[in-house]
Amino acid sequence: MTTIIQTALPVPLPRQFDYDCEQLPAVGARVRVPFGNRELVGVCLGEASAPDDSFQRKAVLEVIDDEPLWPRPIWRLLEWAADYYHHPLGDVIQNAMPVLLRQGERASYQATTRYQVTEQGAQISPNDLKRAVQQQRLLAALQQQPLLSRDIRMQEFSPSALKALQDKGWVEAVEHIPAAVQSWSLKIAAEPLQLNPEQALAVAAIGAAKQHQTYLLEGVTGSGKTEVYLQAMADVLRRGQQVLMLVPEIGLTPQTLKRFQQRFDVPIVMLHSALTDRERLDAWLDARAGSAAIIIGTRSAIFTPCKALGMIIVDEEHDASLKQQDGFRYHARDLAVMRGHEEQVPVILGSATPSFETLNNALNKRYAHLQLSRRAGQAKPARHVVMDIKNLPLKAGLSQPLLGLMREHLDAGQQVLLFLNRRGFAPALLCHECGWLAQCRRCDAYYTVHQGSKQLQCHHCGAQQPIPRQCHDCGSTQLIGRGVGTEQLEQLLQEQFPDYPVLRIDRDSTRKKGSLQQHLQDAHDNKYPILVGTQMLAKGHHFPDVTLAALLDVDGALYSADFRAAERLGQMFTQVAGRAGRASKPGTVVLQTHHPEHELIQDLINNGYGHFAQSALRERQLTHLPPFSQHALFRAEANNADAVIAALEAIATLFPQRDDVIVLGPIPAVMERRAGRYRYQLLIQTQQRAMRAQLLRYVLPQLEKLPQLRKVRWSLDIDPQDFS
Ligand code: ADP
Ligand code: ZN
Ligand code: ZN
């Protein structure tokens, strides 16, 4: 008998769709359905309780899955997220699926490539390959055990070594279908370290958790957070349960991964960007079947189903990449806490510089606050220096005292790290005669000068053009770069320190696949005494020989219109400081500024991030800003500014006028025009989350009827992180 089912489809509409189906699929199973003149892959939500008979219902074309894609707790998480973010469930579900599942691929393994030694290869002693170290290592590894192409261990070996061994006939690639469930048990491969008292306290507290509890593990870089993760994980793995760990986009270094592998002889899957869609699905299946013991991934990994989840870890929980900035704008850290609650497992949020939201939850005792206040092992805390550069001549943004300090460290054989959050040669091109500045035609922004590629580039819309020879206004040929970017800094440093090679790490120097990892490895191995980089360099990387770290230009953050700028500056300073002076070498961290007396800087330098954050939190409380109030941000854009303003004004009038609700705007975005489109925002602020949710539930259904909204592109961001 035919039943009518309700489905969630990947369309940006906040409603479900009914279809006829021969028999009722499992709730959470995928179905293929006709939609307009397309076919979509959706998910069955169960039998339709009040079918809509006002239109001709179509029939499901195919039921793809026999069972639900996700276990109950993840279902509840998805439903909760759709509700909390006021986002269509169909699109939430879409975001939670690996690409191949979105396309309707079966949720089962396919043959995948496995590398193994041939009979001949088994006879070869790797030691005979002394001259080819890469091949030697790979052959030795494969003699121990065959490896699947998606295995993270394969990443340690160069493709050319693999090819060479295959050409010699010692290694072969075979088609292999993984077993449905691969069992494992914990084998500790390396001895754990002897914990210091604070670490021991943290591990004990986490181990004592019988059910869900969220922990903030706060500790400066090098204080031994990773060691705490490892020992807390050991308990979970020993019980046969899995650990899910989220890391920032480029946060997990090969060194850290190696530590995991050295400690635990269990299957680890990593959902990283180098995987093919097939490998990603297979890793997902491993997690769902329980074959993977440890699952590591970036933000979307929070939706990975796990057969027997025992713990969630969010490393660098303050990191901006955990928040998705378009479409379904979720925060993976907040979803991690919610998932921990649904699955009744502990959640560890780790950071040297916790976000103010998390810190506030810890101060309120909603989260348990575990602190590691000292660097583990021998390392001493870095010395902080505020360098007043008022009236000092600057060379490519560097003051003479800083250059002097650099020379001292370099001559002592140590490494220096300079941090400048602006890539390119110069952030603007200026006519020396008339003051004309080369401006992007489509954005409210100046072109950045890129000398390497001899181009002017707009960093906001991607527009490019050759560097002009003449001023567009007066025809003068005296065009000069204004301000300093990493490219210029690199050039000057090469002139100043000809004996010390410089390595630049930014988006331009790491475009080629794999080049970032290579650069980071080279930096780690001290092949370059001088490191220059943008914020890419400030994320969780350990460079043991760096003893001097400097932030060159942060004054913008002190007087920014964005209320989160101070928080980010504090985090960046502390993260960069954490790069200096590991092991037994004392480090120095320098902040160049025109405002050495600024309260924020003084607090940060003298009292550290924790104190700084608490004072800044008090200020947020006084000014009723998050986390002491709740934000929802409507963004709209179109080619016509009036249309954008009218659309947001129409939305604004739907909100009731109440004392406890602030409706602010329409106001222009920080960049009012980007890629030719005008951009405005409407900010809704309430005291309570429940009030925000209630208002939006009342307002959103009315938006479909607003004609003003049809002329613009608009979106809603719950807990927005930036206003650019
Ligand atoms: P974090 O993750 O906070 O940056 P790590 O766990 O990586 O810190 O520890 C930093 C360094 O200190 C590592 O080299 C680690 O091996 C070492 N370390 C950590 N805990 C201890 C300990 N209890 N005793 C000795 N060395 C430790
Ligand atoms: Zn001019
Ligand atoms: Zn532009």
pLDDT, one tens digit per residue, over 134-175 is 888 889 889 988 888 877 777 778 888 899 999 999 999 988
With cut-offs at 50, 70 and 90, classify the pLDDT of residue 596: very high
- Closest-approaching ligand to the CA atom of 445: 3
Residue that is written with structure tokens 């440093």 in the block: 493
> What CATH number has the domain bearing residue 90?
3.40.1440.60
With cut-offs at 50, 70 and 90, classify the pLDDT of residue 243: very high
Q: Do 47 and 147 belong to one domain? A: no
* 583, pLDDT greater than 70: no
Q: Do 607 and 461 belong to one domain? A: no
Residue 378 has a pLDDT of 63
192 Cα: distance to centroid of ligand 2 (angstroms):
66
Phi, psi at residue 371, to the nearest 5°?
-120, 135
Q: Is the dihedral of CA 192, 196, 197, 198 positive or negative?
A: negative
Residue 682 lies inside a defined structural domain of this protein: yes
Comparison of pLDDT for 446 and 14, the residue scoring more: 446
468 touches ligand 1 (CB under 6 Å): no
Ligand 1 atom 15, closest CA? 224
227 Cα: distance to centroid of ligand 1 (angstroms):
6
As a whole number, mean pLDDT of residues 636-663 equals 95
Residue 187 lies inside a defined structural domain of this protein: no
Comparison of pLDDT for 225 and 49, the residue scoring more: 225
Q: Do 145 and 88 belong to one domain? A: no
225 touches ligand 1 (CB under 6 Å): yes
Neighbours of 442 (CB within 10 A): 16
**Count: domains in the chain:** 6
Tell me what the pLDDT averaged over the chain comes to: 90
> Is residue 440 part of an annotated ligand binding site?
yes
If phi > 0 it is left, if psi is from -120 to 50 it is alpha, else beta; for residue 290 that is: left
Residue 625 lies inside a defined structural domain of this protein: no
Condensed to tens digits (0 to 9), the pLDDT of residues 14-35 reads 889 999 999 899 999 999 999 9
Choose among 620, 596, 592, 619: nearest CA to 606: 596
Ligand 2 is an ion; residues with CB less than 5 A from it: 431, 433-434, 436, 471, 473-474, 476
- Domain end position, chosen among 102, 128, 143: 102
Q: Do 570 and 682 belong to one domain? A: no
Q: What is the DSSP letter of 264?
A: B
Phi, psi at residue 286, to the nearest 5°?
-60, -40
CA distances from 708 to 249, 371, 698 (A): 38, 51, 18
Residue 568 lies inside a defined structural domain of this protein: yes
* 250, pLDDT greater than 90: no
Comparison of pLDDT for 440 and 153, the residue scoring more: 440
183 touches ligand 1 (CB under 6 Å): no
Residue that is written with structure tokens 């769902």 in the block: 288
Q: Do 226 and 356 belong to one domain? A: yes
> Is residue 306 part of an annotated ligand binding site?
no
Q: Do 583 and 506 belong to one domain? A: yes
Q: Do 406 and 329 belong to one domain? A: no
Residue 549 lies inside a defined structural domain of this protein: yes
Phi, psi at residue 77, to the nearest 5°?
-60, -45
- Domain end position, chosen among 462, 482, 502: 482
> Is residue 474 part of an annotated ligand binding site?
yes
Choose among 175, 168, 183: nearest CA to 290: 183
Q: Do 211 and 330 belong to one domain? A: yes
Q: Which neighbouring-strand residues pair with 700?
A: none
Q: What is the DSSP letter of 172?
A: E
Condensed to tens digits (0 to 9), the pLDDT of residues 511-546 reads 887 788 788 888 888 899 999 998 877 766 778 889
- Assess contact for 235 and 204: CB atoms under 8 A: no
With cut-offs at 50, 70 and 90, classify the pLDDT of residue 622: very high
Condensed to tens digits (0 to 9), the pLDDT of residues 190-217 reads 788 899 999 999 999 998 877 789 999 9
481 Cα: distance to centroid of ligand 2 (angstroms):
13
CA atoms within 13 A on the CB side of 335: 33
Lowest mean pLDDT among 40-54, 447-461, 664-678: 40-54
In 340-401, the DSSP E strands lie at 347-351, 368-372, 383-388, 394-395, 398-399
Phi, psi at residue 717, to the nearest 5°?
-125, 115
> What CATH number has the domain bearing residue 703?
3.30.70.600
Q: How far is CA 481 from the centre of its chain?
A: 32
With cut-offs at 50, 70 and 90, classify the pLDDT of residue 241: very high
Choose among 72, 74, 71, 60: nearest CA to 104: 60
Condensed to tens digits (0 to 9), the pLDDT of residues 61-117 reads 999 999 999 999 999 999 999 999 999 999 999 999 999 999 999 998 888 888 999
Residue 184 lies inside a defined structural domain of this protein: no
- Domain end position, chosen among 49, 67, 102: 102
Q: What percent of the chain has pLDDT over 70?
A: 98
26 Cα: distance to centroid of ligand 1 (angstroms):
47
CA distances from 345 to 250, 348, 543 (A): 26, 10, 34
What is the distance between the alpha carbons of residues 340 and 75, in angstroms, rounded to a whole number? Answer: 13
Residue 288 lies inside a defined structural domain of this protein: yes
As a whole number, mean pLDDT of residues 182-188 equals 82
254 touches ligand 1 (CB under 6 Å): no
Residue 310 has a pLDDT of 96
CA distances from 254 to 35, 259, 540 (A): 45, 9, 12
With cut-offs at 50, 70 and 90, classify the pLDDT of residue 475: very high
> Is residue 21 part of an annotated ligand binding site?
no
Q: Do 612 and 636 belong to one domain? A: no
pTM exceeds 0.75, yes or no: yes
Lowest mean pLDDT among 134-138, 363-367, 401-405, 479-483: 134-138
Show the domain range for 209.
197-372
Q: Do 400 and 532 belong to one domain? A: yes
Q: Which ligand 1 atom is nearest residue 199's CA?
A: 23
Question: Which among 227, 260, 539, 582 is the best mutation to test ligand 1's pocket, defined by most ligand atoms within 8 Å of the CB?
Answer: 227
As a whole number, mean pLDDT of residues 240-249 equals 92
Q: Do 276 and 345 belong to one domain? A: yes
27 Cα: distance to centroid of ligand 3 (angstroms):
46
Q: Do 207 and 306 belong to one domain? A: yes
Phi, psi at residue 116, to the nearest 5°?
-150, 160
DSSP string for residues in 478-531? -EEEES--HHHHHHHHHHH-TTS-EEEESTTTT-STTHHHHHHHHHHTTS-SEE
Number of H helices, E strands in the chain: 20, 32
Ligand 1 atom 20, closest CA? 224
Residue 377 lies inside a defined structural domain of this protein: no
> What CATH number has the domain bearing residue 599?
3.40.50.300
DSSP string for residues in 73-95? HHHHHHHHHHHHTT--HHHHHHH
Kind of pairing, strands 309-315 and 171-176? unpaired
* 52, pLDDT greater than 80: no
378 Cα: distance to centroid of ligand 1 (angstroms):
10
